[in-house]
Amino acid sequence: MKLTDIFKKKSSSEMAKDRLKLVLVSDRSSCSPEIMERIKNDILEVLSKYVEVDQAGLDIKFTQMDTEGVTSDSKTVPALYANIPIKNMKHSAKN
Amino acid sequence: MGEVIVVTSGKGGVGKTTTTANLGTGLAKLNKKVVLIDTDIGLRNLDVVMGLENRIVYNLVDVVEGSCKVKQAMIRDKRYDTLFLLPAAQTKDKTSVTPDQMKKLAEELKQEFDYVIMDCPAGIEQGFKNAIAGAERAVVVTTPEVSAVRDADRIIGLLEANEIGKTQLVVNRLRPEMVKRGDMMSAEDVIDILAVDLLGVVPDDENIVVATNNGEPLAGDSSLAGQAYMNICRRIMGESVPFLNLEDKRGFFAALAGVFRK
């Protein structure tokens, strides 16, 4: 949110658009917790070959983000957000 | 060989039946041979919107059960010789018909008709599955409201999953003056969110209520909604028809207002 946004009230149609975009991201991903868990485990499995991952701090979820550049019209697309803290690099993988 | 089109929406009360009736009327006016099938078994409505409720003898369930021939169940429209209605059963439930039976029926009817149009019930259960079973093309109806657009998105996803080739959107009950003052999403907003092709925009028009009262769909008359529906029919036939003047203007003003607000 920009600072200027605080001073102007959004029109109700803009509110509707924003709310819809958000709700549709989760509707569309229709990703069951089961699948999410499998995605998480698969990512971990691959990463573990190279680095030591802090499993407690792991955060993986579907969200939405703006497409950057290319065109002037801003569109939001679903994105996989992953925050994976790394404890240690595995030196053997470097070779 | 004709085309099978399903008119659907997910949410109830957004104008599926009204749209179906007007597509039928408009296409018949354009000299096409059309049959409308009310697939909302248990809650039939298309017959009253068409003003044909007094002529029903047999219905869709009778046809698929083989109790009568398709020709016996089809009712010819009061005004247009090339328009027919196959009414839903009122006393049965949705499980009386299966998607396979509907597919077979659609195949049979499209040999004879230019357009076979299925009026889909609200929801995504068996009735929906029946209605889309034989369809090659879908018209999704929505209003510019969050609930209707959300359901339309779900429906579009399901249509894709069921490999319905072509899906187009009708934005119904748009109120230009509300769009102008920023209190209603514009057709462009809805299209932007749903990422689907726009088939047409129908303004909120009192004449629709009057037409339904009379049981005479208004496609093709001088009212704004009547013109909008006629344009939709032409686009269905593959013509490239510009969107109604008023809507163009409105779209421009909405866009302009959007620029100034930023």
Mean pLDDT value across residues B64-93 = 95
Give residue B245's pLDDT.
62
Among A residues 20-39, those touching chain B with beta carbons less than 8 Å apart: 20-21, 23-24, 27-28, 30
A53-62, B12-21, B57-66: range with lowest mean pLDDT: A53-62
What 8-state DSSP symbol labels residue B96?
A: G
Give the separation between CA B54 and CA B37, rounded to whole angstroms.
Answer: 17
The answer for residues whose C-beta is within 8 angstroms of residue B253's C-beta and 6 or more apart is B180
Summarised one tens digit per residue, pLDDT across range B106-160 is 999 999 999 999 999 999 999 999 999 999 999 999 999 999 999 999 999 999 9
Contact present, B60 and B130 (Cβ < 8 Å): no
Instruction: Choose from A10, A11, A13 for mutation: most chain B CBs within 10 A.
Output: A13
The answer for residues whose C-beta is within 8 angstroms of residue B227's C-beta and 6 or more apart is B220, B244
Q: What residue numbers bound the domain in which A64 lies? A: 12-94
Give the separation between CA A66 and CA A29, rounded to whole angstroms.
Answer: 16
Contacts of B253 in chain A (CB under 8 A): none
Dig out the tokens for A69 from the structure: 């550049």
Give residue B250's pLDDT.
44
CB atoms A24 and B153 under 8 Å: yes
The answer for residues whose C-beta is within 8 angstroms of residue B190's C-beta and 6 or more apart is B142, B144, B149, B169, B171
Give the ipTM of the model, two decimals please: 0.78
Give the separation between CA B200 and CA B196, rounded to whole angstroms.
Answer: 12
Total number of domains in chain B:
1
Give residue A61's pLDDT.
76
Is residue B257's pLDDT more than 90?
no
Question: Please, which pLDDT band fits residue B259 given cuts at 50, 70 and 90?
Answer: low
Give the separation between CA B182 and CA B188, rounded to whole angstroms.
Answer: 13
Is residue B26's pLDDT more than 60?
yes
Give the separation between CA B57 and CA B93, rounded to whole angstroms.
Answer: 18
Is residue A54's pLDDT more than 90?
no
Give the separation between CA A27 and CA B194, rounded to whole angstroms.
Answer: 12
CB atoms B179 and A11 under 8 Å: no
Question: Please, which pLDDT band fits residue A36 given cuts at 50, 70 and 90?
Answer: confident
CB atoms A16 and B185 under 8 Å: yes
- For A20, name the nearest residue in chain B, comparing CA atoms only: B146
Is residue A95's pLDDT more than 50?
no
| Sign, Cα dihedral of A33, A38, A41, A47 | negative
List the one residue out of B147, B128, B161, B165 whose CA is nearest residue B8. Answer: B128
Pairing type for strands A51-53 and A86-89 reads antiparallel
Instruction: Choose from A17, A21, A72 for mutation: most chain B CBs within 10 A.
Output: A17
Give residue B117's pLDDT.
98
Chain A nearest C-alpha distance from B6 (Å): 22
- For B188, name the nearest residue in chain A, comparing CA atoms only: A17
Mean pLDDT value across residues B19-47 = 97
Pairing type for strands B75-76 and B166-174 reads unpaired
Give residue A88's pLDDT.
83
Chain A nearest C-alpha distance from B146 (Å): 6
**What is the SS3 assignment for chain A?**
CCHHHHCCCCCHHHHHHHHHHHHHHHHHHCCCHHHHHHHHHHHHHHHHCCEEECHHHCEEEEEEEECCCCCCCCCEEEEEEEECCEEEECHHHHC
User: By the CB < 8 Å criterion, does B149 face chain A?
Assistant: yes
Q: Report which secondary-structure segment, H or E, holds B213.
A: helix B206-214
User: By the CB < 8 Å criterion, does B153 face chain A?
Assistant: yes
CB atoms A24 and B150 under 8 Å: yes
Q: What residue numbers bound the domain in which B17 lies? A: 3-261
**In this structure, is residue A2 part of a structural domain?**
no
A45-59, B5-19, B112-126, B142-156: range with lowest mean pLDDT: A45-59
A85-94, B195-204, B232-241: range with lowest mean pLDDT: A85-94
Is residue B251's pLDDT more than 50?
no
Is residue B214's pLDDT more than 90?
yes
CATH number of the structural domain spanning residue B107: 3.40.50.300
Total number of domains in chain A:
1
CB pairs under 8 A between A and B: 41
Summarised one tens digit per residue, pLDDT across range A77-91 is 777 888 888 888 876
